[in-house]
Structure 1
Amino acid sequence: MEGFCFARCRFTRLVVAMQLVMGVLVICISMASLHRFYTTDALLPGGLDDPARCARFHGAVAGGYSGFDIRALADRVDEVLVQLAELQDKLEATALKIGKKTKKRKGKGKLQQQENMTMTEFQRFLEDEVIHPLYGAHIALRLIRIPRPDPDGGAPAVDPLVNFFAAEETRKYVTAKRNREGRPGAYGANRTYGSIGHACVVMRRELDEYMSYDVGALCPDDWDLGQRLMLGGCDPLPRRRCLARASKLFRRPLPINESLWALPDDGNVRWSRYHCRGYRCLSARNPRRGYDRCVGCFDMDREKQRWMQGSNGTTLADFRMEEVLAVKPGEIRVGLDVTVGTGSFAARMRERGVTVVTTAVNLGAPFAETVALRGLVALYAGLGQRLPLFDNSMDMVHTGGVLDGWVDLQMLDFVLFDWDRVLRPGGLLWVDKFACARKDLDDYMYMFLQFRYKKHRWVVSFKSRDEVYLSALLEKPLRS
């Protein structure tokens, strides 16, 4: 019992010592901030009493410092002080809690065995409650600096985005990073910029929420927030310095020969942001399925029959994969599938030795996870994003179900020109059952015909009384 009390007292003394250290640190930071404020004139030789020096100072501000937000600088200092104050409150509450338990034990007549804090628990307490907050405050303090003149002779460039966002991680990301020791970069650039879409400014509140996390800890379970930012035009998203979450029930995936045409294990997907909680709910046989945009996408028996010879219930708009590949025998090696689906087209192509990357967005169902767990490559990208592929690099671009009659014509124009960019000369564009209203058919046909591709196949068939299917197999010409 004496050893137990000694351990408890030692821990209490440690917490009290940490409180004292934190208190001294807060006082030092406050005094340093006040000293810096009251000694601003020391930055100017002769002080502010000299009108000539004052005029030169204001001239320098007009030349480059006028865009600097002093209020944002003060807000950063306040944020650090708040973090340190919260940390001190946590330590005080912990010490008070330990003190109450110690008094209760002393007041009892019988000796009772109490569970002591293990080294693992103590380590976790220090990391979560002390080290991480101190690290965040340390990084924030390192970024508090008035912009200095550019060594290259230019005015101090202050990105307005730095002071526009509230989340410190966002400001860290968009701030230009100078090369170490002035060394030139790979392309002669002396600084690196973190790129984010201009729509991030419009969605500032959502982006600040997305970038509010603990550095080095587990990321929040907010993939849906990130996807909402992507679809809203805030793309590419800024990188984050946290550890991605995975399902607690994650199991070893199936071998490649088995995984192509089998649904993954439910435990390998995080279902926290979906209506369904398993693949059975997403099945086409379920009358209350959780997603209707791609009926049958999670029915592997049905998916296995698509693009095959002799499949039943097809129309003239359904092209067979063997017929398409026979147009360019041996030339189709890599391709891109822009679709709403679970990667079945890529799986079918893989059986024929063709590597296909599938674009996927999780609109109501885990499409990206399903594609990856089937052993295929899922490119997490929306229609508004420029394809991260080089010019003339794809042998085939396949699309089906993603553009069906809803997309704006100008938006479709940008998308098609990007597909044309990545498709090599002689490559194939496979338009797979593009659905639209009959009255809009001429407009959409023009969008595809404007590129003057060679027609291998061109079919228009009825989907319903007012809707039609357009399927086409087109070959990109050589341009020089």
Structure 2
Amino acid sequence: MGSVSLKIGDGTARFRHATVCSSAVHLLMLASVLITNLFALYAFTSAPSPSVSSAPALLAHRSGSGQRNLSVISEHVALIIREIEASERRLHQIERELAGYDTLDPAKPSLPSELKLFLARHPLPLGRDSRSGITEMVASVAHFCARSPAADLLARYMSYKPAAPCPTDDPLLPQKLIAKACEPLPRRRCLTRRASPTAAAAPRLPFPQCLWNPGAKNPGGGVYGVDRQMWVKPGGKIDFLIDDVLALSSRGIRIGFDIGGGAGNFAARMAERNVTIVTSTLEIGGKPMNEFVAARGLFPLLLSPAQRFPFYNSVFDLVHSTNALDEGGAPALGQASHPEALEFLMFDIDRILRAGGLFWLDNYLCADEERKRMVTRLIERFGYKKLKWAVGEKANGNSSGKTQVYLSAVLQKPARS
């Protein structure tokens, strides 16, 4: 006989020959187990004996009774197993129905014809792919698109005449679908109308003059409009300057990602320093933020922070974020208070940031002390080096006079093995 010895230190498993003593112990243990089971079976199937004279009849009775007991027990066990399996199947079906996997059926008559066409499986023109083994392509649509009210909005989004102008009833319909986790959206075969009349007819200035004179109407104030003060002039102790942050990088900053960047002021300041910044922004209050960012000669990205970032691993030297940590909690989905929603966002930020890159958490508004502790604990779990860390209070901007706690930090991603 032999035994397997697991050596945890080097992660290997070795076979070790058993000694005579260990073999005897194993045999003794096996014999004791068999004897115990036999005694248990005898005690379970036997009944008290009233007299010795009726022993043959009682023996036959006990044998029949024991077989009947075992048969009844087997039937009960089989019934319990069937009920458990049926419950598991029902729970699985409920989960699929809640998630929407089984409700977005291309064969449903209520779906628009264009959506049915998009969702239909399309065979590969050259047949089976030898590498992946697939024979047909399936359109990618988020399963939340099948849940109400996203399903009704999706039907409106895909109700149009092919090759004609796209519907104009609600220009913000795509963003409403994105906010309800219906992302990615289906492609459409309609001609896109002009997003808004804010762009001027006159020719725009060349780059980099267009950074601060984009030839389009300023959509707002602060981060949602042109702001020439942020990150270049000293403010409070939690307002970091761009040049100071860039000096913290030993390998230099070439490309970055600004989450929830509004009108693109951060990207404009970085462009002046020959750094390319991709800005994700939504149409805040119906204002054409993406169009305005593009008019400044910058790279806008219509994307909800609640979704996976469409970038490869370790591609950015810098990730900048203000209050996107709250948006990552997806308030429209009722998940803003879930710590796991914030963890999903942080892990995706960590994924796209290269080793040695910087994560700049800029003036993050902490709703309360518990939120600040939760964010702090989450950041510390990643093992980032704290290059800058500041916590301070600011007035909330209304006449109440109350102050709110803000957190700013510049963190360096460690090189992991």
What is the TM-score normalised by the length of structure 2? Answer: 0.66
Indicate whether 1:205 and 2:152 are aligned: yes
The structure 1 residue matched to 2:137, chosen from 192, 196, 212, is 192
Q: Structure 1: which 5+ runs fail to align?
A: 1-157, 267-278, 285-294
* 2:270 equivalent in structure 1: 349
What amino acid maps onto 1:390 in structure 2?
Answer: Y
- Which string of whole-angstrom CA distances, capped at 9 and with x for unpartnered residues, describes residues 186-230 of structure 1? 744221111011111012211111101111111112331111011
Q: Per-residue deviation at 1:185? A: 7.4
User: Deviation per CA, 1:297-342, whole angstroms, max 9, x where unpaired?
Assistant: 32x3xx222111xx25x11111111111111155211100012420
The structure whose Rg is larger is 2
Q: Which residue of 2 aligns with 1:433?
A: 363
Distance in 2 (alpha carbons) for counterparts of 1:159 and 1:232: 17
Answer with 213-222 or 234-243: which moved more. 213-222
- Pair 238,250 (structure 1): closer, same or farther in 2 beyond 3 Å: farther
**Residues 404 and 171 of structure 1, relative CA distance in 2, 3 Å threshold:** closer
The correspondence for 2:376, drawn from 421, 437, 445, is 445
Would you tell me which structure has more helix in proportion to its own residues? 1
Render the CA deviation track for 1:88-131: whole Å, top value 9, x for unaligned: xxxxxxxxxxxxxxxxxxxxxxxxxxxxxxxxxxxxxxxxxxxx
Q: Select the residue among 182, 185, 196 that pairs with 1:237.
A: 185
Residue in structure 2 matched with residue 411 of structure 1 by the alignment = 341
Give the corresponding residue for 1:162: 106
Counterpart of 2:106, as a letter, is: V
1:403 to partner: Cα distance:
3.4
2:325 counterpart SS class = coil
CA shift for structure 1 position 181:
4.7
How far apart in 1 are the matches of 2:273 and 2:416?
30
Aligned to 2:258: 337
Question: Is 385-394 or 158-167 further displaced after alignment?
Answer: 158-167
SS of equivalent to 2:239: coil
Shift in CA distance, 212/417, structure 1 to aligned 2, threshold 3 Å: same
Q: Which amino acid aligns with 2:264?
A: G
* CA positional deviation for 1:438: 3.9
SS in 1 for 2:344: helix
Map Cα deviations across residues 260-318 of structure 1 (whole Å, 9 max, x no partner): 0124334xxxxxxxxxxxx4xx555xxxxxxxxxx4632x3xx222111xx25x11111
CA separation of 1:257 and 1:386: change in aligned 2, threshold 3 A: same
Residue number among 157, 165, 172 corresponding to 1:224 in the alignment: 172
Letter in 2 for 1:238: P
Q: Which runs of 5+ in 2 are unaligned?
A: 1-101, 396-401
Residues 1:232 and 1:438: Cα distance change in structure 2 (over 3 Å): closer
Cα 1:326–1:160 change in 2 (3 A) is closer
Identify if the C-alpha distance between structure 1 residues 185 and 470 changes in structure 2 by more than 3 Å, giving closer, same or farther.
farther
Match of residue 211 from structure 2: 260
Is this contact kept in 1: 2:200–2:215, CA < 8 A?
no
Aligned partner of 2:97 in structure 1 is: none
Cα distance, 1:201–1:160 mapped onto 2, change above 3 Å: closer
Equivalent residue in structure 2 for 1:304, among 216, 228, 249? 228
Q: CA deviation at 1:236?
A: 0.4
Give the secondary structure class of the aligned counterpart of 1:256. Answer: coil
- Pairing of 1:135-150 with structure 2 (within 5 A): none
Question: Distance in 1 between the 2:347 and 2:386 partners?
Answer: 18
Q: Partners in 1 of 2:306 and 2:408 — Cα distance?
A: 23
1:371 is aligned to 293
Cα deviations across residues 46-92 of structure 1 (Å, max 9, x unaligned)? xxxxxxxxxxxxxxxxxxxxxxxxxxxxxxxxxxxxxxxxxxxxxxx
Whole-Å separation in 1 of the counterparts to 2:105 and 2:306 = 22
Is contact 1:297-1:342 (8 Å) kept? Answer: yes
What is the CA distance between 1:466 and its match in structure 2?
A: 5.0
- The one-letter code matched in structure 2 to 1:234 is C
Provide the rounded CA distance (Å) in 1 between the counterparts of 2:315 and 2:114: 36
* Residues 257-296 of structure 1: pairs in structure 2 closer than 5 A: 257-266=208-217, 279=218, 282-284=219-221, 295=222
Could you list the per-position Cα deviations for residues 9-64 of structure 1 after superposition, in whole angstroms to 9, with x for gaps in the alignment?
A: xxxxxxxxxxxxxxxxxxxxxxxxxxxxxxxxxxxxxxxxxxxxxxxxxxxxxxxx
- Counterpart residue number, 1:269: none
- Identity across matched positions, percent: 37
Residue identity opposite 1:297 in structure 2: Y
- State the distance in 1 between where 2:146 and 2:103 align: 13
TM-score by length of 1: 0.57
SS of match in other structure, 2:273: coil
Letter in 1 for 2:145: C
How many residues align structurally?
293
Instruction: Note closer, same or farther for the CA distance 1:186–1:171 as it changes in structure 2 (3 Å cut).
Output: farther
> Match for 1:332: what amino acid?
I
* Deviation of the 1:159 alpha carbon: 9.5
The SS at the match of 1:358 is: strand
Secondary structure of the residue aligned to 2:291 is helix
State how 1:49-198 maps to structure 2 within 5 Å.
Answer: 161-164=105-108, 165-182=110-127, 184=129, 187-198=132-143
The whole-number CA distance in structure 2 between the counterparts of 1:324 and 1:460 is 17
Matches within 5 A, 1:11-50: none
Residues 211 and 422 (structure 1 numbering): CA distance in 2 closer, same or farther, change over 3 Å?
same
